Structures are given as C-alpha cells and as structure tokens.
Amino acid sequence: MTVHLKKLSVGSTSLATLRNWQEARFAAGMELIHVTRNTPRRGQEVLDGGSIFWVIKGVMCARQPITELRAMQRADGRPACGIVLGPDLIAVEPLRARVFQGWRYLEAKDAPADIPVSADSGEVMPAEMAAELRELGLL
C-alpha cells in the first residue's frame, strides 16, 4: 500500500522557483536528493509508488516521485536519510497545509490529484479550467 511524504519547500517562493532550482541542479549533473535526519519507518510503503508532496507558502502544490531512500551520514557523523527524487515535478490541485517541521506521512487517499496536462501543448491546464471540467464530470 502506497504512502507519500509531505515536506515544506524551504526557500521556495513559488512552484517556478522550486522547478528552476531543481533544473539547475539536474543540469549540473547533481542528484535531486533531500537529506533528512529521520528515515521513514514506513519506507517500503513510500518506495511502493510514493511521492514527496511539496508545500510552498502553506499550499501543497506539487509532487515528485521518490525513487530511493538512501542511508547517509551528516557532516557531524550522525546518521541521516537521503530521499532521492525523480526529475519530474508534477503540479497537483492546490491544497492548504499547516506549517510543520521535517516531513509528515500523507496517506494516498488524502493526496491531492495531479493537475491535467494539455495533450496538445504539454503544458499544465490552468487550475480554473481543470476545476470547471471536473465540475462538468469531464475529468
């Protein structure tokens, strides 16, 4: 059974700034990895299709697939966990989230849906349009 993680994107002011930061790291040949103090106890469930859901300015707005949980060591010698992320940053329906420290589990049933991508242009459909199509039962 899949479980996700949610995490504040510290320093990001928008989804675009997070995307730009990650694209720069990826272009420089660096891994997209978030190092955290605690290893998820439900690691197998996270690796069974889980994503990290990014919270920016109090709103859960994107997800990114988790590809690996890697045992690491911090500079001070204490153990850490590296959450290795896939390169795809997928916009999701905006969902308000309280401020918290670290990461939290997010059950699959509580996760916001992806915002549909236009088949013609490959761009994310505007949130208003997606909401209207959803109300009409077309999404």
Residue 133 has pLDDT above 70, yes or no: no
- Determine which helix (DSSP H) or strand (DSSP E) holds 53, and give its type and residue range: strand 51-56
CA distance 13 to 17: 6
What residue spans define the domains of the chain? Answer: 3-135
CA distance 122 to 8: 27
- Higher local confidence (pLDDT), 106 or 127: 106
pLDDT digits (tens, 9 = 90+) for 1-40: 899 999 999 888 888 899 999 999 989 999 999 999 999 9
- Provide the whole-model pTM: 0.82
Bridging pattern class, strands 3-8 and 51-56: parallel
3-state SS class at 46: helix
**Taking residues 73-87, what's their average pLDDT?**
94
Tokens of 70: 């890697």
What does each C-alpha distance from 132 to 44, 125, 129 come to in angstroms? 37, 11, 5
Whole-number pLDDT of residue 128: 56
Residue 125 banded pLDDT, cuts 50, 70, 90: low
CB contact set of 60 (below 8 Å; sequence gap of 6+): 6, 53, 54, 92, 94, 95, 96, 97, 112
CA distance 108 to 59: 17
Whole-number pLDDT of residue 90: 93
Torsion (CA) 95, 12, 84, 93 in degrees, nearest 10 = 20
CA distance 34 to 116: 26
pLDDT digits (tens, 9 = 90+) for 84-118: 999 999 999 888 888 888 899 999 999 999 987 65
